[in-house]
Structure 1
Amino acid sequence: MGYPMLLLFLALASSSSSSIEAADDDQIKSARLLDLFIRDYTFKSNPTIFKTGKLHSVSLPANLSGIGVNTARFRCGSLRRYGARLEEFNLGPGVIIYPCIERIVLVRQNLGENWSSIYYDNYELLGYKLVSPVLGLLAYNAGEDAMHNNNPFEVEIQAKKTPIAVDFTNVCNYNDTNGRRIPLCATFQKDGKVKLTEQVKANVCLAEGPGHFGLVVESPLIPAKIRKEKGWKVAVGSSIGAALGAFLLGLLLVALFVKEKKKKARMDEMERRAYEEEALQVTMVGHVRAPTASSCRTAPIIERQYRPPRRY
C-alpha cells in the first residue's frame, strides 16, 4: 500500500508543478497573483536554515525579469524590540506582528518600470502619473512547518506608533524643474483603493504597515510630439464648434425677427379692423373730409321743470 501511495503523491506533485509552470508563461495581470508568484519563488530559493536578519537576494524566472526581490528572516521578539532595515524600508522598534509564530520572513519588492504598470492598470489613478517604481513589503510566517512544507501565510504588521519609512531616493529619478509638481505618496491598499499622502521629506513616505507604495504627480505632462500631432485636431474641432455656434446664433436672430414682424402685422390688422367697423359720418371741413359723430337725438330735460305728481 505504501508504494502505490508514493506513486500517486509523486504524480500529483508533478501535475501541480507543471500547472504552475504553465501559469508562469501566461501574462500576469493581477497584482495579487504577482505577489503569490514572488512568494513561492522566494521560499523555494531560500535554504531551509539561514542566518536570521541576513538579507538574501531572490532569483526570479525570465518571465518576471525586471523585478528585484530581497528577503530576510527575523524573530518576532527581536523585530519588535530593535526593528529592521530592508533596502528602502526602515522598520522602527515597537512594531506589532500578528499572528507571531516565532519567526517571520520579510519580502521586499522593487517592481521596476515595466511591472509597476500593473498597479497603474488595476488601481484608479486617473489624473496622476507614477514617477517611481512600485516598492512592496510583505511579511510571511517562517515557522518550521512553513519552511518544510512550503505553505507560508501572510501576517500583519502594525506600525502606528513608529511608522515604516519608505525611502525612494535611490530608485526615483524624478526632477521637477518648475517646482510645481511635488510628488505625493501613493499607498495601494488591498481593497483596490489608493491612499494619497504628502511626503515627510524629499522622496520619503511613511506607512503604518506592509503593502505597496509609489510616488505620483498630478496632471502628467503631455510630450511635445503628442501635442503637435493633436494640434490640428484641436484646431479643426475649434473651427467646427465656432461655425456651429454662429449658425445657431443666426437661427435665434431670425426667429426673433420673424416673431417681431408677426406681432407688428397683427397689431396693424387690429387697428384696420377697428377703423373699418366704426360707423362714423364723413363731412367736409374746409377742403378736408373728416369723420363726425351724429348729434344727440334725445333732448335734455332740465331738472327744475320737473314737478312731482300731485297727491290727493
Structure 2
Amino acid sequence: MGFYKLLQITCLIDTIIIIDVCLFSLPFLAESANTCDPRSVDEFVLDNVNEEIAYPHTGTLYNVSLPANFSGIQVSIVRIRTSTFWARGLNCSFVHFPPRIIPEPNEKRMAMIYSSFGNLSSQYFNVPNHTILPPVLGFMAHVSSNRTLIDPKKKKKMHLSILGDPIALRFPHQINPKGGKSYDRLICAKFDEKGFTEFSNMSGSYECEAPSQGHYALVVPMETKSNVVRGNRIWWKVGLGLGIVGMTVVGLCFVGIARLVKMRKIRRMEENSQRCEPFDTFWIGESKMPVASVTRTRPVLENDYAPAQCLVILEFPN
C-alpha cells in the first residue's frame, strides 16, 4: 500500500511540473505564433525582381517595389562584378563591405540585396527578454548574370569568405522616448535562418560587425522582467533550501523523541527490577544477565519408599 501511495505522489509532482512548464512556455509560443517569416520577403524579391528591372546596369542601386502586405519594408539591389567586389569592396547602402572578401562559388557577377524592415521589425523578428530597436537590417548575396539581376537558372545564394576587415552595419541613431537621451545598453543581435539569435557588442557608435550575411538589429535588455525572473528564482531556491532544512530538523526531532521514550521505558524496567528480589549478575559480551547464586528450594521425595534390591542368580548348564 505504501508503494502505491508513493507512486501517486510522484505522478502528482510530475504533473504539476509539466503544467508549470507549459504555462511558462505559453507566452513564448504566442510570441512565435505572431512572428512572420522574413524569408517570404526574400522569396518575393527573387521571383519578381527580374521582371520589374528588365535591363539593369552594373553598379547601380535599384529600389524594389513590394506589395501592400509588405508595406513599410524597403528592399534594394545592386549588381557588381566579383573581381571588383574583391579588390574594392562595396559601400552603397547601410552595409560597408571592405576589400578582400571572396564570394563563393566563383562567378563573374553577383547581386547584393539589402532589406530594411522598418516599423515592421517586431512582426518579423522576436528576441525574448529584449526590445528590438527598428529597423532590422539585412543583406544577402546571390549569383547574377550579364542580362538579369538574379540568375534565373541558378537562383543560388553565395557564401562570403572574409579575409580582411569585418563587414560593418550602420544603424540610425535613436533616442530613448522615456528619458529623451540615447540608449545606454545596446547589443547587436544576429538572426540566422534556423531562428536562433546571436549577441555581440557594438563595434562603434550604432555600428555592428557582421561575420556573415543575414539579418541584424540593435536590441535593449528588458531589465525589469529579467530582475523579476531572477528574484523569483532566488526566492524559489531559498524556499527549497528552508524546506529541506525544516524537514531535516523535524526528522531529527522525531528520532530524538523516539530515543527519549525508549530510555524512559528502560529506566522503568530497571526500577521495577530493583523492587523485586535481587539477583546476582554477570556479563556475556556486552549484555548484563541475572543469575541465581544458590537454589531457592531443595528437592524432597514425596514418601520414604525405596525399592528393594534384588539378587539375580544366573545358572548356566554344564
Q: Give me the TM-score of the superposition, normalised by structure 1.
A: 0.61
SS in 2 for 1:86: coil
- Give the aligned partner of residue 191 of structure 2: 188
Q: Of 266, 269, 274, which residue of structure 2 is paired with 1:270?
A: 266
- Give the aligned partner of residue 162 of structure 1: 165
- Quick check: 1:197 aligned with 2:200? yes
- Quick check: 1:127 aligned with 2:129? yes
- Give the aligned partner of residue 140 of structure 2: 138
Q: Of 24, 44, 47, which residue of structure 2 is paired with 1:40?
A: 47
The 8 Å contact of residues 55 and 148 in structure 2, kept in 1 or not, is answered as: no
Where structure 2 has 5 or more consecutive residues not aligned to the other structure, the ranges are 1-33, 279-292, 295-318
**How far does residue 90 in structure 1 lie from its aligned partner after superposition?**
1.1
Q: Of 74, 85, 97, which residue of structure 2 is paired with 1:68?
A: 74
Distance 1:136 1:258, change over 3 A: closer
**How far does residue 70 in structure 1 lie from its aligned partner after superposition?**
1.2
1:275 counterpart letter in structure 2: E
2:200 counterpart letter in structure 1: T
The 8 Å contact of residues 81 and 109 in structure 2, kept in 1 or not, is answered as: yes
**How far does residue 220 in structure 1 lie from its aligned partner after superposition?**
4.7
Distance 1:254 1:142, change over 3 A: closer
1:7-43 per-position Cα deviation (integer Å, ceiling 9, x unaligned): xxxxxxxxxxxxxxxxxxxx98333333212332333
1:186-237 per-position Cα deviation (integer Å, ceiling 9, x unaligned): 2223344332221111110112332211112333545xxxx9xxxxxx9xxx
The 8 Å contact of residues 160 and 208 in structure 1, kept in 2 or not, is answered as: no
1:270 counterpart letter in structure 2: I
Distance 1:99 1:130, change over 3 A: same
Where structure 1 has 5 or more consecutive residues not aligned to the other structure, the ranges are 1-26, 228-233, 282-295, 298-312
Count of aligned positions: 232
Q: Give me the TM-score of the superposition, normalised by structure 2.
A: 0.60
Distance 1:149 1:163, change over 3 A: closer
The 8 Å contact of residues 181 and 218 in structure 1, kept in 2 or not, is answered as: no
1:15-74 per-position Cα deviation (integer Å, ceiling 9, x unaligned): xxxxxxxxxxxx98333333212332333322x223322221111000111211111111
**How far does residue 156 in structure 1 lie from its aligned partner after superposition?**
2.0
Instruction: Report the identity percentage.
Output: 22
Distance 1:147 1:271, change over 3 A: closer
Distance 1:218 1:28, change over 3 A: closer
1:85-144 per-position Cα deviation (integer Å, ceiling 9, x unaligned): 232111122221122432222110001232444232xxxx43333223211101122204
- Give the aligned partner of residue 4 of structure 1: none
- Give the aligned partner of residue 111 of structure 2: 105
The 8 Å contact of residues 108 and 137 in structure 1, kept in 2 or not, is answered as: yes
Correspondence 1:217-256 to 2 at 5 A? 217-221=220-224
CA RMSD of aligned residues (A): 3.8
1:234-270 per-position Cα deviation (integer Å, ceiling 9, x unaligned): 9xxx9xx99xx89x96x98887766655544433332
Distance 1:60 1:208, change over 3 A: same
Q: Distance in 2 between matches of 1:96 and 1:168?
A: 25
- Give the aligned partner of residue 17 of structure 2: none
SS in 2 for 1:85: coil
2:140 counterpart letter in structure 1: L
